[in-house]
Amino acid sequence: MLYYSHSGNTRVLAERIHEQVGGALVELQTVNPYPPEYDTMAEILEKMVAADAIVIATPVYFYMMAAQMKTLIDRTCSRYQEISNKDFYFIMTAAETDKDLLQRTLEAFRGFTACLNDPVEMRVIYDTGTWNIGEIKSTRAMGEAYEMGNNA
């Protein structure tokens, strides 16, 4: 069993299940957190609060957003109520060719914005079927991104 627990609630449940099923019990932990001088989250949050529009773009791995994007979203918790009245644009890139399989990533973005005050979803760009570096340059998504930038 693998688990991560910030407050301890998930740990309690994992241990309860582990009592019944046995086997390995592995807690995921941050071993070497970045030192404070490398933490740019305060600066990022300030920019998010000040912005009129926010573009969230992520590669999609195993039908989910990249861990770095999820971490950023989680770390907005301290000021999420200040991220209000924003236009949101979502961009997802994936090797997967079926756009419908990216919906859970989009729903995760929407879950984030549902916690905010008065967000407006403006546009979603799906780039599918690109695996290798540079392949995206010849896709429809490039034109959509250009158009999005002109209209934002």
CATH architecture of the domain formed by 34-151: 3-Layer(aba) Sandwich (3.40)
| Domain edges within the chain | 1-32, 34-151
- C-alpha to C-alpha distance for 66 and 61, rounded to whole angstroms: 6
User: Positive or negative, the Cα torsion across 74, 58, 148, 100?
Assistant: negative
The answer to whether 89 touches 122, Cβ cutoff 8 Å, is yes
Give tens-digit pLDDT for 77-127.
Answer: 999 999 999 999 999 999 999 999 999 999 999 999 999 999 999 999 999
What's residue 74's pLDDT?
Answer: 94
Residue 125: φ, ψ to 5°: -115, 125
What's residue 6's pLDDT?
Answer: 75
- C-alpha to C-alpha distance for 117 and 121, rounded to whole angstroms: 12
pTM: 0.84
